[in-house]
Amino acid sequence: MTTSTLTTASLHRPPASSASTLPPAPPAAARADRLGAFVALSLPALFILLWSTGYVAGKIALPHAGPFTLLALRFGLAAVVLLAVSAATGAPWPKTARAWMHLGVVGLLMQVLHFSGVYCAIAWGLPTGVAALLIGMMPLATAMGAHLWLAERMSVAQWLGMLGGAAGVALVIVDRPLGGGAWMAYGAGLLGLTGLVAGTLYQKRFCAGMDLRTGSGIQMTVSALAVLALALWREPGAPDWSVELLGATLWLGLVNSIGAFSLMFVMIRRGQAGAVAKLFYLIPGVSALMGMGLLGEHFGALALAGFVVSAASVGLASMSRASG
């Protein structure tokens, strides 16, 4: 290197001490960045954990109340809390009758049809892990619904994931023979999956801009009234108001109906719907482990293999979708 080159380079090279003279990042901003990163990572995992507890809490409560009665208590409690929060915080309400109608339809699909199917399935003998396994097909079933209803394209990975997930469910069914009313239990679980998928797609299309407080409050109010009518029609007997029922109702109404669904809507607003899809396949396994540890449920080797096949299929398809 010549002397002229060295001289020219030295004119453009910053002083050695210039890096040390730069002002350090404000501690408050650095802490805020770290907190934001922690929240972004923890919200999906917390959502999966809270969602999974709903299956266990539901099974604990169902011996003490019918499915529709339990749902009326759950949705009614959530509605009261959400409407009170909306009034106290001055949350905006929908401005048109059409917006109110759309929120009501989402409530009937995502809450009433979904949870009625799940709770009836559990009440008719379906283990919590198997019920969660059916609902855990939600990411791929939603992709299929979006393909049919919204003309969205499904990737090859999603088609393969759908087949693998169905194969996993089939292994679980083979391990647990469908005798007596078992067909009704599986059918109710699939009906619950249909409600969740249809509600998700409907909300995505018609209610994306809803206020979390008033929108959820309206959905829960409509849902509570609907299942209350079903409870009065199909379950005339009063619940026994046991400690298990009261505790499970508080957990389902506050933690699941408000906490888990609010987390899901927050993540969608933050653009983290892909993170939910990537972790959603963990729900069946987490629910099955909770059922085994807390409820004494048992699964054979074939059923456990089905859980693994289904989780791997849904997880790989969801991750491929998120990265694509």
Identify the DSSP state of 127: -
Is residue 225 over pLDDT 80?
yes
Confirm whether 183 is domain-assigned. Answer: yes
Structure-token match 């650095």, residue found: 30
Q: Higher pLDDT residue, 20 or 111?
A: 111
What percent of the chain has a predicted confidence (pLDDT) above 90?
44
Single-letter amino acid, residue 116: S
Helix (H) or strand (E) holding 170: helix 156-175
Contacts of 79 (CB under 8 A, 6+ apart): 217, 220, 221, 223, 224
Confirm whether 45 is domain-assigned. Answer: no
pLDDT tens for 160-202 read 877 888 888 888 878 876 566 788 999 999 999 999 999 988 9
Four-residue CA torsion sign, 29, 33, 38, 43: positive
Confirm whether 205 is domain-assigned. Answer: yes
Alpha-carbon span 184 to 186, nearest angstrom: 6
Confirm whether 105 is domain-assigned. Answer: yes
Is residue 273 over pLDDT 50?
yes
Q: Higher pLDDT residue, 245 or 138?
A: 245
* Domain with 196 in it: 63-153+179-273
Confirm whether 137 is domain-assigned. Answer: yes
What percent of the chain has a predicted confidence (pLDDT) above 70?
80
Alpha-carbon span 237 to 231, nearest angstrom: 9
pLDDT-based confidence at residue 137 (cuts at 50, 70, 90)? confident
Contacts of 201 (CB under 8 A, 6+ apart): 142, 145, 146, 149, 150
pLDDT tens for 139-156 read 778 878 877 877 777 778
Question: What's the pTM?
Answer: 0.80
Classify residue 127 as exposed, middle or buried by CB count within 10 Å of its CB (0-12, 13-18, 19+).
buried
Is residue 22 over pLDDT 60?
no
Could you give the number of structural domains in the chain? 1
Tokens at residue 299, please? 């699964």
Q: What is the mean pLDDT of the chain?
A: 82
Confirm whether 216 is domain-assigned. Answer: yes
Confirm whether 4 is domain-assigned. Answer: no
Is residue 311 over pLDDT 90?
no
Confirm whether 280 is domain-assigned. Answer: no
Alpha-carbon span 123 to 228, nearest angstrom: 18
Would you call 30 helix, strand, or coil by DSSP? helix
Is residue 10 over pLDDT 70?
no
